[in-house]
Amino acid sequence: MSSVQQVLQRANWRITGAGVALLVLVAFSSPVFLLTLAPVYGTTPSHIFHNYGVAIAGGVGWFLKDIIHRLSGGRMPYLLPALAFWVPTIQNFIFQQSSSLGNPTGPLFTDIFCFYPLVLLTVASAGKLLQSGLHLNQHGDLVSEHVPFLGSYAIYSIGHVFAEGIISKFLGSAFFFSRTGLQLFIATLYSVAVPSKLLVLAIPSILFSFTANPHLHTSRATAVLNTALHEEGYALVARQDSSTGYISVLDNLEDGFRVMRCDHSLLGGQWIKEYRHYKPELKDPIYAVFTMLEAVRLVETDHGAPRVDASSKALVIGLGVGTTPSALISHGIETTIVEIDPVVHKFATQYFHLPSNHISVIEDATSFVHNAQKSSNPPQYDYIVHDVFTGGAEPVELFTLEFLQGLSSLLTHDGVIAINYAGDISLYPAALTVRTIQAVFPSCRIFREEVAAEDNAEFTNMVIFCKKSSTTPLQFRDPVAGDYLGSKFRETYLMPKHEVNPSRFREIEKYGKSVLVAKETNRLHKYLDRGALEHWEIMRKVMPNAVWENW
């Protein structure tokens, strides 16, 4: 092979490599863009249209690649790095209109004006580079056109799967592994794949990102964030991206409470304002449901003898800010906490006074229960608290017949379980959940956090208390002074009050099967979408729009 041919071959490989690199980068960009939508719109609503739009934009880009190449004079690939750097800036300004755009219109609108153009033009550029590098345009047959199209789709799909694995493992571990940090990192890789003098067009966006974009974790951007939050009466205490979402701790400066946020939902909160003559043993929660979960201690035994806290063991699935496990620990109960997100556990300990004397398991609950069942000496618990709502949707795999049967096997014969279900209790998933729980636990009572609102909205926290034994009906003993831990809040909300007639859930049989099994959880997706959108509306009333938008 002559030196000229070698040079040409190396040039063709560089062109082909650039095309492949662009496809991999746009594949990485997709899950990252979804991550940036989640704090403003929630994880579930952000997914509703995203993948459909990516497929359409990619297909249009591929089949119009020759037209786009001709109209741009062959310069389109060199515009891509600048466009990638502008995405987080444009996105930030669109986020400020989220309340006007609504949900799920907002995520779709943001995709259309920020991400889909990047997908379309990247695929068009990559297709043209592959066509040129591999000399496919000279054949003019179906094979030379469709083989690279299918190959490009394969490269994108593999890159997407690889990206999700990398992100799930390293998200939040470093500056460039924050959500907006990843967007800038990918834009930087665009500029490496396609070096371009046109990158100068991205300078204003880069400067804005590092100095004024509140979503970037720099000291200057964080100061901008706090300025926006202070105008709404809030202050940022801490924030970090993690496996389950964007986690932050916020103080309300006017009313005196602290909350932990996960994407577009609240995991819980505490009143931090102190009063001279009021010193409860634990900080009061801002939500009654977490205190109501503590009533699991008050369920009477079948034999009538009182339970002894010092000899009891509790398992808590899902930590939140730690209100319920903190109370159990304060009563002297040996408490094991299973929490999938290490940042949630860290923040609950640092900012919400979670006692250190507990057994901490940072693991997915399904894995924990499976491993506990298979151990030579499975642990046995007197109390189990199941509280896993986050991000506007219940993780349905933790409400399946199989998972609940696993929890039952870890419960003592006279044990009690309290399960928190947050959602619209008029919909099929709530009825399915209740019937599945009742299929495992024979004696249950159901309570909602509060009475139905005047607008008849049925989105609420519902706690299902169940016994493993059906010898006697489930009853609560009368609380004594020690049960309240010196808290006026617990005096008001510890005892469940608003009981729900279980017959209402039997009336929803027409919508589907009577119990939820693991292999059929996909049947609930459309209901989860609706529930997440309802939850989004509620959260926008709980805290100001600017708090959600300037994450």
Q: Is 275 exposed, middle or buried (0-12, 13-18, 19+ CB in 10 A)?
A: exposed
Place of tokens 């496809």: 23
User: Out of 10-19, 130-139, 358-367, 510-519, which region has the weakest mean confidence (pLDDT)?
Assistant: 130-139
The band of 201, judged by pLDDT with boundaries at 50, 70 and 90, is very high
Q: Which residues contact 375 (CB under 8 A, 6 or more apart)?
A: none
pTM, rounded to two decimals: 0.92
The band of 305, judged by pLDDT with boundaries at 50, 70 and 90, is confident
Q: Is 289 helix (H, G, I), strand (E, B) or coil?
A: helix
User: Out of 28-37, 372-381, 469-478, which region has the weakest mean confidence (pLDDT)?
Assistant: 469-478
DSSP secondary structure, 333-375, as one string: -EEEEEES-HHHHHHHHHHS---S-SEEEES-HHHHHHHHHHS
pLDDT digits (tens, 9 = 90+) for 483-511: 999 999 999 999 999 999 988 887 655 55
The band of 383, judged by pLDDT with boundaries at 50, 70 and 90, is very high
Angle, vertex CA 491, rays to CA 490 and CA 497, nearest 5: 90
Q: What is the spatial distance between Cα 206 and Cα 121, in angstroms, rounded to a whole number?
A: 21
8 versus 323: which is more confidently predicted?
A: 323
pLDDT digits (tens, 9 = 90+) for 517-536: 999 888 777 788 888 898 99
User: Which token pair is 194?
Assistant: 């396609």
> Which amino acid belongs to residue 7?
V
User: Which token pair is 543?
Assistant: 């805290």
User: Which token pair is 404?
Assistant: 């609940």
Q: For residue 352, give the nearest of 238, 448, 429 by alpha carbon.
A: 238
> Which amino acid belongs to residue 419?
I
Q: Which residues pair with 445 in a beta bridge?
A: 465
The band of 104, judged by pLDDT with boundaries at 50, 70 and 90, is very high
Q: What is the spatial distance between Cα 297 and Cα 165, in angstroms, rounded to a whole number?
A: 41
Q: How many whole angstroms from its chain centre is CA 409?
A: 29
Where do the domains of the chain lie? 3-217, 281-549
Please tell me the predicted confidence (pLDDT) of residue 136: 55
Please tell me the predicted confidence (pLDDT) of residue 525: 76
Q: What is the overall mean pLDDT for the chain?
A: 91
User: What is the mean pLDDT of the segment spanning 443-461?
Assistant: 78
User: Out of 13-17, 104-108, 113-117, which region has the weakest mean confidence (pLDDT)?
Assistant: 13-17
Please tell me the predicted confidence (pLDDT) of residue 12: 74
Please tell me the predicted confidence (pLDDT) of residue 142: 46
Answer for the pair 435, 444: CB distance below 8 angstroms, yes or no: no
Is the model's pLDDT at 477 over the cut of 90? yes
Fold assignment, 281-549: Rossmann fold (3.40.50)
* φ and ψ at residue 498, rounded to 5 degrees: -95, 85
Q: For residue 502, give the nearest of 450, 417, 425, 429 by alpha carbon.
A: 425
User: What is the mean pLDDT of the segment spanning 213-232?
Assistant: 95
- Rg of the chain (C-alpha set): 27
Q: What is the spatial distance between Cα 521 and Cα 264, in angstroms, rounded to a whole number?
A: 23
> In the chain, what is the straight-line distance between the N-terminal and C-terminal CA atoms, in Å?
58
Q: What is the spatial distance between Cα 467 and Cα 475, in angstroms, rounded to a whole number?
A: 10
74 versus 5: which is more confidently predicted?
A: 74
Buried b (16+ CB within 10 A) or exposed e, 142-162: eeebeebeeebbebbeebbee
User: What is the mean pLDDT of the segment spanning 106-128?
Assistant: 96
